[in-house]
Amino acid sequence: MAEKSRIGVTGLAVMGANLARNIASRGVPVAVHNRTYAKTEQFMADYGAEGDFTASESVKDFVDSLETPRKIIVMVKAGKPVDGVIEELTPLLDEGDIIIDAGNSHFPDTVRRTAECEANGLRFMGVGVSGGEEGALLGPSIMPGGDPAAYEEVREIFESIAAVVDGTPCVTHVGPGGAGHYVKMVHNGIEYADIQLIAEAYDLLTNVVGLDAPAVGKIFEEWNTGDLDSFLIEITGKVLAKTDARTGRPLVDVIVDQAGQKGTGTWTAIDALQLGIPLTGITEAVFARGLSALRSERKAAAGVLAGPTPSKEVDESLVEDIRLALYASKVVAYAQGFAQMRAASVENGWDLKLGEMATIWRGGCIIRARFLNRIREAYDEHPDLDNLLMVPYFTEAVANAQDAWRRVIVKATEQGVPIPAFSSSLSYYDGYRRERGPANLIQGLRDFFGAHTYKRIDAEGSFHTRWAQDGTEVEA
Ligand code: NBP
């Protein structure tokens, strides 16, 4: 009888295939399966010689080819297909076997599937994997959630395939239940904010500073050598430098200005609204993609709605201001995302170690950046930190950037260039640093029309004023 495989992968599209190859490259025998067998055959023809693979056509043979307790990575399209695969696997598995959903599942689905699998005697892990197809093959950032004992059984394999930064693999057990997919969701949300901020900087450098795409690309290349050093800044330089083979123009100039999205940014924003956590950077990024999608409406409005036209006069004096504004806005976006994870951790009892999240995002994933070392250090020193902005490094970074940040926002507003993420980040910052804001009036209004009561600064308890009657105040 053939030797049993240590782990299985079902779903051999780009992510599953590359993950299976990555695992096999570490000398681990891997069982592979795909709903459509032709894809499995193609996988074996292309990569079968790379490692110790056992391919099966039926789910039963696939399950039988695994050593027990079985460990099965499910890498199929998120949503119903995951439930379908679990349904098919469940009757074929034994108590204690582990199903690992490594796709981009929505965390409430993971919570539900964990309970369903547990009821059937199975262990379930929801695992976030970031890094796209290259990451899956060469070293992703992995965010495993679920039963800690189940994680111990796959830890060695996960640590061997993850990206490594300064000798530390970009993987750690994130927390129970839906914690892994939750953290992956926030990672993707932060990715939305990062990308939006980069797009706003590009817009300003193009339309306010007056530079062409290759010149802006060079600026990003230079920025990538400083505090902004990150994968996204690096590839921005490369994308802006690319010449279109058909027209000889910069490729970005012939790409339609309509952004796609798969929904993880929206999930993050909705969750923040439900938690009551201000998440302006990520949410504005989702809205900006929505506005970009209204292309025909924008075209019609461009000829009707009044506003200033950006000067486009070359003025490079603003370049450093834009870099500082980008950095400060990025600090705010991360501060918000980490505050959201903290709130979710408390709400769900996950005990997320936020410093470890920063650590495993340093490599392999799309938001990998030098900056994450600073976040890791902040949480190492202050594990219960309310807000990253309160750590001296970030407090000073934003203080040093704020004059430039304000100048950029004034300039963009004067010239009619929209900067929703830059400006909402500054508003959040200004709101967060204010001891007393205007919500006293909100409470007054709410009490006027709905008797919702208010609290006083000089007395305990709740009060209501009979605004429309005799005007007297009563204790509620
Ligand atoms: P896709 O998301 O395109 O899914 C294709 C795979 O799902 C194929 O193997 C397909 O089998 C299988 N599948 C479908 Br569709 N419906 C099925 C069903 N009812 N039962 C069984 N299998 C079914 O693949 P991907 O781009 O490799 O992504 C896989 C997961 O990883 C997704 O959750 C994705 O969001 C996540 N992810 C992707 C990336 C990325 O960069 N692409 C990055 C990070 C995470 P078939 O061959 O028979 O149609």
State the pLDDT at residue 1: 54
The conformation of residue 462, written as its DSSP 8-state character, comes to E
Q: Is 104 near ligand 1, meaning CB less than 6 Å away?
A: yes
**Atom 35 of ligand 1, residue of closest alpha carbon:** 104
**129 touches ligand 1 (CB under 6 Å):** yes
Helix 319-348 vs helix 213-223: angle between axes, to the nearest 10 degrees?
60
Q: How many CB atoms lie within 10 A of CB 72?
A: 24
pLDDT tens across the length of the chain (476 residues)? 578 999 999 999 999 999 999 999 999 999 999 999 999 999 999 999 999 999 999 999 999 999 999 999 999 999 999 999 999 999 999 999 999 999 999 999 999 999 999 999 999 999 999 999 999 999 999 999 999 999 999 999 999 999 999 999 999 999 999 999 999 999 999 999 999 999 999 999 999 999 999 999 999 999 999 999 999 999 999 999 999 999 999 999 999 999 998 899 999 999 999 999 999 999 999 999 999 999 999 999 999 999 998 888 878 889 999 999 999 999 999 999 999 999 999 999 999 999 999 999 999 999 999 889 999 999 999 999 999 999 999 999 999 999 999 999 999 999 999 999 999 999 999 999 999 999 999 999 999 999 999 999 999 999 999 999 999 999 99
Show Cβ contacts of residue 335 under 8 Å, excluding neighbours closer than 6 positions.
387, 388, 389, 394
Active site residue 184: yes
Ligand 1, atom nearest to 39 Cα:
47
Q: List CB contacts of 158: < 8 A, sequence separation 6 or more.
A: 142, 144, 151, 169, 171
Contact 281, 179 (CB under 8 A): no
Burial of 248 (0-12, 13-18, 19+ CB in 10 A): exposed
H or E segment to which residue 465 belongs: strand 462-465
Q: How far apart are CA 5 and CA 303, in angstroms?
A: 64
Question: What is the per-residue pLDDT for 139?
Answer: 97
DSSP 327-363: HHHHHHHHHHHHHHHHHHHHHHT----HHHHHHHTSS
Residue 475 pairs in a beta bridge with 463
**Span from the CA of 13 to the centroid of ligand 1 (angstroms):** 6
Instruction: Report the separation in Å between the CA atom of 77 and the middle of ligand 1, taken as the mean of its atom positions.
Output: 3
Q: Is the CB of 78 under 6 A from ligand 1?
A: yes
Catalytic residue among 184, 284, 356, 411: 184
Cβ–ligand 1 distance for 73 under 6 Å, the answer no
> Which atom, in ligand 1's list, is nearest to the CA of 132?
41
Residue 80 CA, closest ligand 1 atom number = 19
- For the chain, the C-alpha Rg in angstroms (whole number) is 26
- List the domains of the chain with CATH numbers: 7-173 (3.40.50.720), 184-433 (1.10.1040.10), 438-475 (1.20.5.320)
Query: Is the Cβ–Cβ distance between 207 and 214 less than 8 Å?
Result: no
Residue 35 vs residues 10, 167, 371: alpha-carbon distances, Å: 8, 37, 41
CA torsion 98-144-158-2 (nearest 10°) is 20
pLDDT the model gives residue 135: 94
269/288 Cα distance (integer angstroms): 13
Q: 292-296: long-range contacts (C-beta < 8 A, 24 or more apart)?
A: 292/257, 292/258, 292/259, 293/258, 293/259, 295/256, 295/257, 295/258
Phi, psi of 169 (to 5 degrees): -70, 145
What element of type H or E holds 98? strand 98-101
Q: Where are the alpha helices (DSSP H) in 120-241?
A: 132-138, 148-161, 179-207, 213-223, 231-241
Dist. CA 333–CA 232, nearest whole Å: 15
DSSP 42: H
Output the residue whose Cα is nearest ligand 1's atom 30. 103
**pTM for the whole structure:** 0.96
- The response to whether 13 counts as a known ligand-binding position is yes
Which of 471, 252, 452 minimizes the C-alpha distance to 463?
Answer: 452
Identify the CA nearest to 278 among candidates 430, 440, 428: 428
Element spanning 35, H or E = none
268: nearest Cα among 151, 373, 190, 345: 190
Which atom of ligand 1 lies nearest, measured to the CA of 133?
A: 41
What is d(CA 97, CA 93) in angstroms, rounded to the nearest whole number? 6
